[in-house]
Amino acid sequence: MRIIPAIDVIDGKCVRLTKGVYATKKIYNENPLEVAKEFEAFGIKYLHLVDLDGARAQRTLNHKVLESIALHTSLTVDFGGGIRSADDMRIAFESGASQVTGGSMAVKNAAEFANCLTRFGSEKVILGADAINRKVATQAWHEQSAIDVVDFIADYEKQGVIYVVCTDINKDGMLQGVSEALYTDILQKTNVRLIASGGVSSTDDLKVLNDIGCDGAIIGKAIYENKITLKELSRLC
Distances (CA, A) of 28 to 117, 133, 199, 226, 235: 34, 29, 18, 12, 24
The residues with which 230 forms a beta bridge, in sequence order, are none
Single out the catalytic residue among 130, 168, 205, 215: 130
DSSP secondary structure letters along 74-90: --EEEEESS--SHHHHH
Which of 8, 51, 168, 205 is flagged as catalytic?
A: 8
Q: Where are the beta strands (DSSP E) in the chain?
A: 2-10, 13-18, 21-29, 46-51, 76-80, 99-102, 125-128, 131-132, 135-138, 143-148, 163-167, 193-197, 216-219
Residues present in the chain in total: 237
91 near 68, Cβ under 8 Å?
no
β-pair partners for 5: 219
Which of 46, 43, 52 is CA-nearest to residue 6? 46
Catalytic, 204? Answer no
Say whether 130 is catalytic.
yes
Active site residues: 8, 130
